Amino acid sequence: MSTFSTSTPRLTVLGAGPGDPELFTLKGVRVLGEADVVLYDALANNDLLGFVRPGAPQVFVGKRRGLRSYAQDEINALIVESARQYGHVVRLKGGDPFVFGRGREEMLFAEQHGLLTDYVPGISSAVAAAGSVGIPVTHRGSSEGFRVITATTATGGLSAAVTDAARSRTTTVILMGLSQLARIVDIFARHGQAQTPAAIIQNGTLPTARLVTGTVAELPARAAAAGLGAPAIIIIGEVARLATAEAAGPAVFSDLLSYAEVA
């Protein structure tokens, strides 16, 4: 029996959500069940692959220690090749694919090569991970807005958006920033925010979630003491005062800041 599909070659870019598989969308469940092949990332919870129909290939294309990493150009080419071979490619990506997920980039490449494309949103960790530990990105009297930035540029440097954020007093959510933490803290401190409340959340929404809070200046030492690692998000702003250890589950780092010290 041939492995080739008679389906029209097409791509659906699908958001896997912030980690907890129960936060996956109903539309996502249906789309995975319709897939002829699934290309999935490291940040997509593997439990979601249980929704893939039996016999449909599942190909890991993310970055994970000890496994081969795919360059973006390779992933783009694999999407097109897989669609031409199988039919419907579902590209399962952590969080929301349009929030620093290169989702539209992959869709544009696919469209340039004759594929039909579609997008299914996922809940972004930028909001959900914060909320899972009791931190709202906006809160009356504390924050009238928020910005979501990446700390790292495509070339591996520090994003200029960090400096822009440091000049603001709205909530800042920083993705992919843990490796740049010392530089981020230095920039925020130079803009008068060394004592601004802040938090780092690792594995937000999952049972393995861990939380560190403190002032901006205290974050590097506290993160190191807790042994935090990626994936994690950094939140800087008054709303970080609202973090609750109970909300993050049993694996929370217990050294939560007493904000009376800096109030």
- Residues designated as active site: 41, 63, 176
- Residue 253's closest CA among 194, 223, 218, 212? 212
Question: Which segments of 88-124 does DSSP mark as H helices, in order?
Answer: 103-112
Question: What is the Cα–Cα distance from 233 to 229, expressed in whole angstroms?
Answer: 10
Sheet with 210-215, side-by-side order of all strands: 146-150, 171-175, 232-236, 197-202, 210-215
Question: What is the Cα–Cα distance from 215 to 126, expressed in whole angstroms?
Answer: 20
C-beta of residue 48 within 8 angstroms of C-beta of residue 120 = no
Output phi, psi for 223, to 5 deg.
Answer: -65, -40
Question: What is the Cα–Cα distance from 249 to 69, expressed in whole angstroms?
Answer: 32
